Amino acid sequence: MRFFSPRFVGLTLAALLASLSLSAAERPRNVILIIGDGMGYNHLTAARLLRGDIDQPLAMEQLPVVANVTTTSAGGSRVTDSAAAATAMATGHKTSNGRIATLPDGASVPTLFETLRARGWSLGIVTDGDLNGATAGAFTAHADSRDDKPTIARQMIALAPDFMLGTTAEFYFPTDAAPVTLASARSAGLTVFQDVALADLPPDAASPLLLGYTAMVDETASLAARQTVAGHNAPTLTAAFAVAVKQLQARDRPFFLLFENDWIDSWSHENAYELVADSVVQLDDAVAAIMAFAERDGHTLMLITADHECGGLTLRDEENAFIGHHFSTEEHTAATVPLFAYGPGADRFAGSLANTDIHRRLRELLP
């Protein structure tokens, strides 16, 4: 049995009171939370430049609700990492860097996934990073360290989201004392495929469905350098969304989908400008597909934001009217990040927010 800190009780009561004034039309049936890991404002401009028109907004920038989000973490360093930032969004609590849905004193706090699972919602995860990485981990597990990948993987399997897709190079631990293997995941009741092309999936694949890939950065190889980290049969994020939403809708229940582009952050750490811009473009292509679904559905709230900015990217004038780029660091920064929203309840995310407010306002909206 996990110990949950009593500190979450006040937040829960506040969310309950705020939700009482909502009409049914203001409540989304489904939520899609899209995380551009490491994505700051200038990353968006870089993607516009790559597409050839700095004045043409990205799909995400055309959503009707816009907010600015601060990302500080608790403890000695106020510049967050992905674990503390995801914990803030998943639980509504600030924590110290490296922690997965636990407070600085070690106490566990309930996550949105746990709360919604108890209410009968379907749950989904799509990421082109590690399936048991910091972002997905903070929504599905409790650990003192993001590096405790076996614990995160075991708890994720125990929670058994209805759909999971991501990199599994660090998910299966055949030599660990309490191993997570393809066999053990299947024994736990999951339908598991490894490095299988989405087109080759059987149409009747049952949930919970786990699709693992050796690596996921192909995105149709828009830049040749991406192929050095592309996995066998790796799908694009856009294709992954199509499969995820089909699987989740088949459950005929409200669903929450966590959707992440992890490589914006990875390439920002490398100061690899073209790959950073390309990763934002690939995410925006997926956002366009998600937007089209949300418009058709009419009951889905979509939120696009970042856990933090990475690289301190700036864009500047150079000779011959050419816009150059500069990274000030290979690490994360404290820069404010964007949030874009569309759908029922989207207006509640306008303005200036802390990352914990994302959790609080979702709790106010969800029945």
Share of the chain above pLDDT 90, in %: 78
Q: Give tens-digit pLDDT for 155-167.
A: 999 999 999 999 9
Tokens 């490894």 correspond to 194
Q: Give tens-digit pLDDT for 88-136.
A: 999 999 999 999 999 999 999 999 999 999 999 999 999 999 999 999 9
Cα gap 269→295, rounded to integer Å: 35
Query: Residue 232: pLDDT above 90?
Result: no
Q: Are 4 and 108 in contact (CB under 8 A)?
A: yes
pLDDT at residue number 4: 53
- Dihedral of CA atoms 193, 195, 198, 202 in degrees, nearest 10, equals -30
Cα gap 101→114, rounded to integer Å: 11
pLDDT at residue number 76: 77
pLDDT at residue number 222: 53
pLDDT at residue number 169: 87
Cα gap 18→8, rounded to integer Å: 16
pTM: 0.91
User: Tokens in use for 220?
Assistant: 């149709």
Q: pLDDT band at 227, cuts 50/70/90?
A: very low
Cα gap 182→210, rounded to integer Å: 10
pLDDT at residue number 12: 54
Q: pLDDT band at 228, cuts 50/70/90?
A: low
Looking at per-residue pLDDT, the higher value among 70 and 8 belongs to 70
Tokens 């599994």 correspond to 168
Does an H or E element contain 242, and which? helix 237-249
pLDDT at residue number 151: 95
The set of residues, in sequence order, having a beta carbon less than 8 Å from that of 86 and lying 6+ positions away, is 35, 100, 134, 135, 136, 137, 138, 139, 307
Give the least confident one: 8-22, 112-126, 271-285.
8-22
Looking at per-residue pLDDT, the higher value among 178 and 196 belongs to 196
What pairs with residue 96 in β-bridges? 74
User: Tokens in use for 181?
Assistant: 């293997």
What pairs with residue 338 in β-bridges? 68
Q: pLDDT band at 224, cuts 50/70/90?
A: low
Count of CA atoms in the C-beta half-sphere (13 A) of 44: 19
Cα gap 182→174, rounded to integer Å: 9
pLDDT at residue number 237: 94
Mean pLDDT of 258-275: 94
CA-based radius of gyration for the chain: 19
pLDDT at residue number 178: 82
Name, of 23-37, 267-281, 296-310, the range with top average pLDDT: 296-310
The whole-chain average pLDDT of the chain stands at: 90
Mean pLDDT of 142-147: 97
Mean pLDDT of 32-61: 97
User: Tokens in use for 98?
Assistant: 């490296």
Q: Give tens-digit pLDDT for 326-341.
A: 999 999 999 999 999 9
3-state secondary structure of 137: helix
Q: Is the dihedral of CA 167, 170, 172, 178 positive or negative?
A: negative
Q: Are 238 and 105 in contact (CB under 8 A)?
A: no
How many other C-beta atoms lie within 10 A of the C-beta of residue 184? 18
Share of the chain above pLDDT 70, in %: 88
3-state secondary structure of 258: strand
